[in-house]
Structure 1
């Protein structure tokens, strides 16, 4: 996973990848919920006799694993070991990890301590559901916060352009490498919490970077000082985060417990913790509207909240949005529900669905782009199931072109600045172990390409997809 701050220098006059950041923005939510959205008491999970672990397996887990992963498997210094976080791995891979460990991490090998049968039983136990959902309360969130420093470095390192850096996440050693964008030299390698996903986000001034793990750990990084300055665990399983338009707040949407956590972007202190009735699909910032927008996995609506969380309004949908993006005006949210075969366009100003159009396969709207041709605006949407890019005209909300690709693609990016007389060019990238996004901090007046929204492009943050790794 790679994220970049693009230089303001002349090297970037021709090439850039800021279209994602310009068209898709993070969303958020509030500290008060109407009665129908408040969480209800959940009954204990029913576990069949076949799923129930043996007493010996549980004893082995408590003996060897609980000090890092907690007794309830919700994670501590190590990641949560529950179906919500490791369900995508088969038992053979989990067993191999137990036996061999993970190099350059605190995960040791247990091949010499446990028999092959014990390792297989442990892998099956970790894949099984817990008797009840692990608990992570508001008090737990507050108690997990730690700060290394409140003040930031006064200036960047000598010879380093802080606006021309790559932030490269390496899942093999749970590291984050900060690289010089000019010569690709690693300037600093930071040891991070396991499972960073969703892309690195940045403060508006580029001074802080924020990384979120699937286990709910949010880490703040001083870009100038190239060091971790604070962290907090907001949930057991998190979806993504958004930074408010004014840079004051961070909103994190969570899957387990289903909740929203609002934090002070400066010191990661908890401002508000909101249990929700549904797991969160996404939280995004609606730039130019001073608001956050929240989508839910199990509720057919999106909610727009003011940045200060003092007011909210809902837009009903035909089906829950599992993935969506904004048009350049941030008035229209285009979303899909998995396997529905169509997309819906929600007008968050009038609070209603204004259009629907067919969209087959598994489109990844969160990694699409917007571009202009003449006086028309289009969206280019990659597809993770079939080899094509769907081009949508926003004026009519119709599919005007299906561009074949060599295979399923994970995201689109703009590859060149076009002139007024040349066509827009973009490329599709296949899903790999790394993704890239960028924020263009250069002076747009230098370019011949007319921006969609000049003030918003300059202030927008990188929007990267939630890549399941």
Structure 2
């Protein structure tokens, strides 16, 4: 997965992947160099996001040898195979028995620290695929590109561009592995995607077919991206955040040339130094020329002013560990971020650049792109799902007109299992909720739809796949009209990755009205028009 990065000069010493990720421990099971290399690749793909590059833990527990060796091989294999109801996937349908045995041995070894990356290293990976003088002045096709669904094909390492009008796949743009999210330019034409392998790519939707115009590797493990949208700096900068090395990189949004790299290592809210302080989420703020850099392990939100990148002003706002996903309220002023291991939501006033409140929710909140709606009792509210339990918690978000409810729990709704995402639309009567983190198919293949007025839940069976396909229903996105809800079937089972699909529902009737079949591991989807109109905030 790192071959391209390696070939472009990041690791001048040709650091082998096995050596980069771990080495044998005296009391650990014996592993050959080939087995270590295979296991380190599996760990990167499936485990590092929750347990950390150095295996010190974050959303998931630490996996250091002093703990894993005590648990023993058989127990480790059982946990990895079956998952837990506390939010860990079952991997018996994703990994075969040999791979489960391999990764169980691997996490009993002593981890080693991967190499660092300098700005020069990052620049060595920069590539212009289509020069700017070859970009079209108008769309080269007659498709309704504002209703495109820019769709993550996770294990395929590509973005599927799907026509929202015809429900047909337009193309697959080659990007990095396991893209987490996509963010657009201020006009919606260009889309920036960050792969887990550090590959930051820029896609032009006006080309026929849409394709990548430039890319750069900002790290060897990465997660998020944001684009400057404010004032005279609109579409001037793009920022990518690294899990490893723990840093952020600001690049020219037109050419993707890397301009600045800033380390995020520092002290957490208890005053303890954190070496692996990863960038969890990145956002542009609507009311100031700033990026929000959420530093996972330190529990700090950095509000980084990009009006002068040679003299960066960074307000470091302490909240709680471990920061993960977040979203804005309907006004775009208040940013709401899950400090999921503290079981809290933190609320940041991006105008005043300070923390305004924190709220205890349920076990391990995870709002994904979040949802805002109007509650009949509390007025404007926002909500989150949870990785640790089947619960949706929602709170007031209007301190000006509804101060008694602001940053306080308005209500909770119990679902059948933990989930990753919920979503709504200003014109919708519903909030759609997934249960994708439950280990059983009779829960994770279903979603819940909540009535905003009554708070009643309606279950819908989406991922109608055999158990061996290990397919879960997750992530919601509305089309341009705001009347259709698109839900992913992420088929993860061995040999069934191409059996993924997107199921399309009429939002009012909750009846299926269409499908896009034969997609490879589809997860997140981003409608150009809705994201441009900032419906992710409302």
TM-score (norm 2): 0.59
Question: What do you get for the CA RMSD once the two structures are aligned?
Answer: 4.1
Q: 2:329 matched to 1:327?
A: yes
Whether the aligned pair in 2 keeps the contact of 1:254 and 1:279 (CA below 8 Å) is yes
| Pairing 1:68-79 to 2, within 5 Å after superposition | none
Partner of 2:200, secondary structure, is strand
Q: CA deviation at 1:234?
A: 0.5
Take 1:322 and 1:179, find their aligned partners in 2: how far apart are those partners? 28
Partner of 1:407, secondary structure, is coil
Change (3 A) 1:399 1:158: same
Q: 2:430 matched to 1:425?
A: yes
Match of residue 138 from structure 1: 119
Partner of 2:48, secondary structure, is helix
Partner of 1:186, secondary structure, is strand
Decide which of 214, 218, 243 is 2:200's aligned counterpart: 218
Partner of 1:163, secondary structure, is helix
Q: Which has the higher contact order (CA 8 A, sep 6+)?
A: 1
Q: CA deviation at 1:249?
A: 1.0
Q: 2:379 matched to 1:389?
A: no
Q: 2:167 matched to 1:184?
A: yes
Take 2:383 and 2:371, find their aligned partners in 1: how far apart are those partners? 5
Whether the aligned pair in 1 keeps the contact of 2:22 and 2:109 (CA below 8 Å) is no
Q: CA deviation at 1:401?
A: 1.4
Partner of 1:368, secondary structure, is strand
Change (3 A) 1:58 1:349: same
Match of residue 303 from structure 1: 302
Partner of 2:242, secondary structure, is strand
Match of residue 283 from structure 1: 282
Match of residue 185 from structure 2: 203
Partner of 2:260, secondary structure, is strand
Take 1:212 and 1:262, find their aligned partners in 2: how far apart are those partners? 13
Partner of 2:121, secondary structure, is helix
Q: 2:370 matched to 1:368?
A: yes
Take 2:123 and 2:481, find their aligned partners in 1: how far apart are those partners? 34
Moved more, 199-208 or 229-238: 199-208
Whether the aligned pair in 1 keeps the contact of 2:192 and 2:203 (CA below 8 Å) is yes
Match of residue 253 from structure 1: 241
Match of residue 11 from structure 1: none
Whether the aligned pair in 1 keeps the contact of 2:279 and 2:296 (CA below 8 Å) is yes
Q: Which has the higher strand share?
A: 2
Q: 2:327 matched to 1:346?
A: no
Take 2:255 and 2:108, find their aligned partners in 1: how far apart are those partners? 36
Take 1:343 and 1:118, find their aligned partners in 2: how far apart are those partners? 36
Q: 2:252 matched to 1:271?
A: no
Structure 2 segments unaligned to the other structure (5+ residues): 1-20, 52-59, 64-75, 81-95, 266-276, 400-405, 437-471, 483-528
Partner of 2:340, secondary structure, is coil
Q: 2:447 matched to 1:407?
A: no
Take 1:301 and 1:172, find their aligned partners in 2: how far apart are those partners? 31
Partner of 1:367, secondary structure, is strand
**C-alpha distance after superposition, 1:16-62 (max 9, x if no partner):** xxxxxxxxxxxxxxxxxxxxxxxxxxxx99962134865xx226878
Q: CA deviation at 1:281?
A: 2.3
Change (3 A) 1:127 1:84: farther
Whether the aligned pair in 2 keeps the contact of 1:386 and 1:408 (CA below 8 Å) is yes
Moved more, 319-328 or 255-264: 319-328
TM-score (norm 1): 0.67
